[in-house]
Structure 1
């Protein structure tokens, strides 16, 4: 009996402890709920928020994402919404967001923007509405409001924020921007309108008095207003690539005094003078790639004394007049590849005293004279591949001490000269341990790429063969040798010139015939066997036919 009473008391005590613990947990849960009600706002799903709610980043969010944040966006300074399904912005979308400085709504389906939806940001400095479906800026656009009624409203008016410096409207379907809107962006410094459907640069762009960078590439521009060239803009960078421009009005000095970068590539320009840059003396980067320019005149670049990078590749240039670069002593990179140049005079590149990169590849150059690069002492990279060069003067590279890469591949060269591979002091370039990759020549100073030529391994290369094999370093060890792959005669084809014996480098026809037979010996044996087999078969057939007639 006593033991049963003890057990009952223990059970009762355990139940009491459980009840008390449960009541405490319930009280703790209530207190946590009260504390959570006062806790900071938690970020929504598919969004990232900073602790102070100043920065919010959302991706693949629903159309009503801003509504969920509206009560807590009073302190927000940076809001970025990407790949969402937002299609419209209403007048009350951004209420109570007076501290907003950077707003990004990109890669969405937005086509409707209410007139006052973006006029509530007095501190806005950065606006990105790229890759949406905006068609017109500054004209009425019909869209359905939140009550499913059709309304007419203007697209964003930027006149309210004097702090706005960056506007990105690229990747939309904009065809026109009204002068009112352009005047409203007079404080903007960077304006990106690329990848739209703009057809013309009108005089309204002259109202952008504070603009430093204008990007109108990948549009359908065919005409540039004359007033654009006579404006007093402070432009530093102008990008007009991938349009249909045939001529740009002459940019007066006061309109391009600060211009440093200009890209007019992939247009329909027929001459360089049609770019209208004769007064832009401070320009440093000029891209004229993929146009229809056929001639470089001696007066095309004479006023561009600060030019550092010039790209005229993929045009139809057939000749370059002497003195074309005499006033471009600061030019460092020159790209003239993919043209139809056939001849280069001794004084063509005479003025390029600071050039480090010269790309003359994929032209029709047949000959390189001895003094072609005589004044280009800073040249490091020279590309001549893909031409029709059959001869390079022996001392062409004698005044190029900083040379790193010379690409001579895919030409018609037949005979190498030892003077190509000598530094100005006479020291052999190949004075390091052997380092050869396929058909490359690696040196301490230069890398010569020589594949795809018609190297003849006969008596004409004996001198070079003897000279290259005789090169040794200060320790008396053989240096790395240039890899010249033979093209002819056929029995040497594919072999390294410097691995051949000197006795096999001959121009004797009997010698060639002997080695031709030895080299093709197995082919002769196979053909002889086939012929004997065919004769035996024909003889057997003739005997069978004779026996048949005798029967």
Structure 2
């Protein structure tokens, strides 16, 4: 066949079928005649070299990748290389997965997100045995069945996020034995059958966040023995009952953010012995659930901001001996962090207290005794001052204190000195007093900070020292007065012994005459009297 005639025949045929598909795009499938024609046209396409890429698409025949983003397509193109492996059709106006899709049998990755898909015919993927990733997020899919994904025996990732699915019936995903990640977030799911996830023995990541669930679907989780990551936030649970995640012994990551929780039962997390990361942010907890968290001995990361507790008490995180990172962001009622709050968390490396608008007190020693603490973030709070005994500043690798209400006085001289020597990358600006407002703490001298004895605090220290000395002297005087008789006797004994020793020395000195002393000094032997 002449190449130009082949082009002409191919495109005239495609134009005819394309217009037909447009008129019938709301149908669930094409008839056998159309399928036969499509087969003929695709055979022609294989025979003709150098077919142009459809408008709005980018085709790479070396890597077998086709990208048609924002091309205003309303059907899946049939003029593509049948050997393509990666097909991206996002941000178009495609309404259905028609029969043309069946002729790309080597596909490994398909992205049909941000289209107008309202239904998926049950035969749509029967020839996609090699497909590994399918992205159908941000469409209008309202229902799926256990035949919707028939043929996807190699699929490992299925993304159905941001659709209109409202129910998950029994065995709906049982034909996907290799599925590892399933995203059902941002749908309208209010009901999940106890065996909805039956057959997903390889599933490791599950998103059920931002749906209409009112209770934790505990029974549905029991058939997921390999699940490692679960996202169920943005629902309406209110209460987390005992054994809420029973059967998920391998769970490593649990996201319960914005789940509406106001009550967490004592044994809610029982059985999650391998949990490493827990997100409880943006709930309605009025205190840190210390007893509930104590089951999670292997927990390494805890996010618990945007709750309603006012204080982090001593031993709030008792039992979390492996905790590495704590994030408390935007806890609008938090005011105080007590000394000993982290006494059980000797392995902690990073602490974030960010944007807690009422947090104005961190007690002395609250962060002392943490040998592995390297990163301390305290920005956007209401802290006015820091004590030198609050934390081992010199051991920190990073420290942030921006956007607080820092009052620059002599109490912060130690921090100014540290910033000049070891913490040169830290910026702290003064909020008060007025004459130091917006000035960097690093640039202030001891005189600027009022470190003199005219300073009221210095005077208080001096008064304290004087009072202490007076009390000490008064105590000593009272002691001497009370035991004066014993003291007097002790002194008498000492003087008598001293006089006795003096008499003995005097008598000893008398046993030698002056002449004897001189001769002993010069080693002169005395002349016997008989020789005279």
Which bracket does the TM-score occupy, shorter chain normalised? Answer: 0.5 to 0.7
1:309 aligns with 2:317: no
* Equivalent residue, structure 1, for 2:105: 98
Judge conservation of contact 1:66–1:93 (CA < 8 Å) in 2.
yes
- Report which stretch shifted further, 77-86 or 49-58: 49-58
Question: How far apart in 2 are the matches of 1:39 and 1:216?
Answer: 47
In structure 2, the CA distance between the partners of 1:127 and 1:248, relative to structure 1 (3 Å rule), is farther
TM-score by length of 2: 0.67
In structure 2, the CA distance between the partners of 1:502 and 1:366, relative to structure 1 (3 Å rule), is closer
Question: How far apart in 1 are the matches of 2:310 and 2:451?
Answer: 43
Judge conservation of contact 1:333–1:358 (CA < 8 Å) in 2.
yes
* Equivalent residue, structure 2, for 1:278: 270
Question: How far apart in 2 are the matches of 1:348 and 1:374?
Answer: 10
Judge conservation of contact 1:298–1:321 (CA < 8 Å) in 2.
no
Question: How far apart in 2 are the matches of 1:54 and 1:173?
Answer: 33
* Equivalent residue, structure 2, for 1:369: 363
1:332 aligns with 2:340: no
Judge conservation of contact 1:379–1:400 (CA < 8 Å) in 2.
no
Instruction: Output aligned runs, 1:43-442, within 5 Å.
Output: 43-51=53-61, 54-59=64-69, 60-69=71-80, 72-73=81-82, 75-90=83-98, 92-138=99-145, 157-207=148-198, 208-251=200-243, 255-273=247-265, 276-339=268-331, 340-361=333-354, 362=356, 364-385=358-379, 387=381, 389=383, 392-398=386-392, 400-407=394-401, 409-411=403-405, 413=407, 415-417=409-411, 420-421=414-415, 428-431=417-420
Judge conservation of contact 2:240–2:264 (CA < 8 Å) in 1.
no
Question: How far apart in 1 are the matches of 2:360 and 2:449?
Answer: 29
In structure 2, the CA distance between the partners of 1:244 and 1:481, relative to structure 1 (3 Å rule), is closer
In structure 2, the CA distance between the partners of 1:229 and 1:120, relative to structure 1 (3 Å rule), is closer
Judge conservation of contact 2:351–2:375 (CA < 8 Å) in 1.
yes
Larger Rg: 2
* Equivalent residue, structure 1, for 2:522: none
In the TM superposition, residue 313 of structure 1 has moved relative to its aligned partner by: 0.6
In structure 2, the CA distance between the partners of 1:314 and 1:303, relative to structure 1 (3 Å rule), is same
In structure 2, the CA distance between the partners of 1:451 and 1:76, relative to structure 1 (3 Å rule), is same
Unaligned runs of 5+ in 1: 1-29, 139-154, 423-427, 433-442, 458-479, 485-495, 508-551
In structure 2, the CA distance between the partners of 1:297 and 1:456, relative to structure 1 (3 Å rule), is farther
Unaligned runs of 5+ in 2: 8-46, 457-532
Question: How far apart in 2 are the matches of 1:260 and 1:374?
Answer: 30
- Count of aligned pairs between the two proteins: 410
In structure 2, the CA distance between the partners of 1:482 and 1:399, relative to structure 1 (3 Å rule), is closer
Deviations, residues 399-418 of structure 1 (Å, cap 9, x unaligned): 65125214175347464425
Deviations, residues 326-349 of structure 1 (Å, cap 9, x unaligned): 322332221223332333332211
Question: How far apart in 2 are the matches of 1:52 and 1:76?
Answer: 10
What is the root-mean-square deviation of aligned Cα atoms in Å? 3.5
TM-score by length of 1: 0.65
* Partner SS, residue 173 of structure 2: helix
